[in-house]
């Protein structure tokens, strides 16, 4: 049995789709579905699983041995809002909850794959290398990033990472992110801006070494993320790994690719960046992927032009934009 926490969320439900694609259905989803207005539940509606358990009762079920035969826990569940202001909530929900799951996996010899975040790198001044020895040099810029950093450090110091795989996701986009609101990807927002207004708004640059729209990120298609996780399930590789493409692409290139997927000419409006963001804004992020490659993952990553085309044409433009086990190509 495989358990996916955060299994109704963006990456979690995409991983359920990936496992369904491989013919696996003995999977328990752990999550909080929240209000029906977000339609988060729809992420699960076309997929197959054995059970859905509320996240609040899951740790207690683990502690009393109510769930038997667990071979792996894919721990994607967290409050992923970089603007969350309740630090105690993030400490309990992201750090404390993760410690309980990791402790169970170590005691019961279950495979653990968990979500860390590129937010742990802060402003990037110490680089984007996933060398475990550099953990203590990182300085996250927000409490979300710090909650992930806390767990990475705890997992390292307690020997968890000798048996588990932690994943530092960079800028993920793709189907089933629709419930995320302001935390949804730039691609998702760009698609709707083009549909509604015919144009896209991007931030102006406030640094002389970057032109407007040429700030860059490492954008990765969610299906590349799930291929990496599936590979980690099949191969007992351990440690902390970046999950990006290793290639930095500009917001302007992303916007142009979205227009192209919609067969429209680019119309981009550059707007001033809010002053509250200017001191914290990252102009460059790019995952160093050498460690995962050296571990043996050698599949190519999806170019943003190809990923955005598929996302826009097969999902966002569809009457049913959700991942569906019946269409597991």
Residue 57 phi, psi (nearest 5): -95, -5
**Cα distances (Å, whole numbers) of residue 145 to 117, 266, 294, 320:** 7, 34, 26, 33
Number of H helices and E strands in the chain, helices first, is 12, 13
Q: How many CA atoms lie within 13 A of 111 on its CB side?
A: 19
Token output for 131: 């060398």
Q: How far is C-alpha 241 from the chain's CA centre?
A: 13
Helix (H) or strand (E) holding 120: none
Catalytically active residues, by annotation: 144, 180
Relative orientation angle of helices 143-157 and 97-108, to the nearest 10 degrees: 30
Cβ contact 158:166 at 8 Å:
no
What are the angstrom distances between the C-alpha of 285 and each of 2, 34, 125, 313? 33, 32, 10, 27
Rounded to 5°, angle at Cα 154 from 230 and 8:
40
> What distance, in Å, lies between the first and last C-alpha atoms of the chain?
23
């Amino acid at each position: 049995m495989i358990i996916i926490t955060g299994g109704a969320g963006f990456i979690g439900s995409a991983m359920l789709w990936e496992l369904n694609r491989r013919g696996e259905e003995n999977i328990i989803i752990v999550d909080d579905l929240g209000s029906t207005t977000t339609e988060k539940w729809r992420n699960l509606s076309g997929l197959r699983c054995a059970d859905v358990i509320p996240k609040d009762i899951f740790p207690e079920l683990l502690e009393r041995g109510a769930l038997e035969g667990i071979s792996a826990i894919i721990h994607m569940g967290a409050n992923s809002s970089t603007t969350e202001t309740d630090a105690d909530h993030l400490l309990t929900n992201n750090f404390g909850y993760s410690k309980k799951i990791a402790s169970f996996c170590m005691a019961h010899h279950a495979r653990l794959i968990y979500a860390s975040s590129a937010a742990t790198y802060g402003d990037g001044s110490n680089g984007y290398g996933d060398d475990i020895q550099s953990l203590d040099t990182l300085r996250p810029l927000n409490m979300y990033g710090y909650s992930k950093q806390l767990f990475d450090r705890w997992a390292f110091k307690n020997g968890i990472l000798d048996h588990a795989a932690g994943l530092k996701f960079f800028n993920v986009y793709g189907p089933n992110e629709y419930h995320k609101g302001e935390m949804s990807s730039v691609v998702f927002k760009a698609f709707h801006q083009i549909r509604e207004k015919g144009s896209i708004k991007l931030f102006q640059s406030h640094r002389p070494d970057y032109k407007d729209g040429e700030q860059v990120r490492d954008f990765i298609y969610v299906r590349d993320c799930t291929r990496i996780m599936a590979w980690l399930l099949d191969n007992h590789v351990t440690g902390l790994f970046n999950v990006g493409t290793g290639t930095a692409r500009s917001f302007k290139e992303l916007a142009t690719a979205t227009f192209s997927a919609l067969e429209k000419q680019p119309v981009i409006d550059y707007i001033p960046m809010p002053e509250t963001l200017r001191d914290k804004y990252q102009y460059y992020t790019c995952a160093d992927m050498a460690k995962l490659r050296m571990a043996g993952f050698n599949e190519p990553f999806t170019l943003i032009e190809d990923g955005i085309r598929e996302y826009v044409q097969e999902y966002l433009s569809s009457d049913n934009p959700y991942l569906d086990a019946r269409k597991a190509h």
